[in-house]
Chains A and B, each alone.
Chain A
Amino acid sequence: DTGVSQDPRHKITKRGQNVTFRCDPISEHNRLYWYRQTLGQGPEFLTYFQNEAQLEKSRLLSDRFSAERPKGSFSTLEIQRTEQGDSAMYLCASSAGGSGEKLFFGSGTQLSVL
């Protein structure tokens, strides 16, 4: 499978716990995006990497959220001290960049905070 891979598919946690999600992009893609999606809404931008550099971060993203992309390959998204409002689908997408880039999404990680 050469698509975008996300792990885990589902995560149930208690409020206050830390969680970490992993994304493996399409191998030749240098851009990687994280989005959050809640029921009945479109994906909401969280952050973006060009290779290993994190170039943009949404103002909506609290300090409890951090993302990394070491060596410009896979990426991790960590949420510290989870809150019930963090419950959502976390989507990773990758692209080859350039003008008119196309985003390809993974299947997402569904987070439920109890």
Chain B
Amino acid sequence: QKEVEQDPGPLSVPEGAIVSLNCTYSNSAFQYFMWYRQYSRKGPELLMYTYSSGNKEDGRFTAQVDKSSKYISLFIRDSQPSDSATYLCAMSAPRGFNKFYFGSGTKLNVKP
């Protein structure tokens, strides 16, 4: 079983739609949760960063963490064609070597 599971998609939505992206994980030691956006042939770009449980909002993006269910989400409101990319979730534990565990990424296509 992988440490982090993520639906690969692709997910295709019309412009203006609300997008929901999700990851599940198995290691209860994870405390730091991240979402990265990766455009084709580019490196991942840090989009959202959350510590422990709760919500964090930044513009059109909202990250949610539910540690009891080992489930994290990224919501994109008023999606734009420029949001078309692969979204990677990542997480790490607070102690020792900070190895980051990545999901396989969900490819999102926002149609004009």
Q: Which residues of A contact B (CB under 8 A)?
A: 4, 6, 31, 33, 40-45, 48, 55-56, 89, 91, 93, 95, 97, 99-108, 110
Specify which of B42, B46, B51 is in contact with A103 (CB 8 Å cutoff).
B46
B68 at the interface (CB under 8 A from A): no
Extra 10 A-B pairs, beta carbons < 8 Å, given A42-B105, A100-B32: A40-B104, A42-B4, A42-B88, A43-B100, A100-B51, A101-B32, A102-B49, A103-B34, A103-B90, A105-B36
Cα A6 to Cα B36 in complex, Å, equals 19
A56: nearest chain-B partner, CB-CB: B97
Rank and list the top 7 A-B pairs by shortest CB-CB distance, nearest first: A42-B102, A105-B43, A107-B43, A108-B43, A105-B44, A42-B104, A100-B32
CA gap between A95 and B49 in the complex, in Å: 14
CB proximity to A under 8 Å, residues B40-57? 41-46, 49, 51
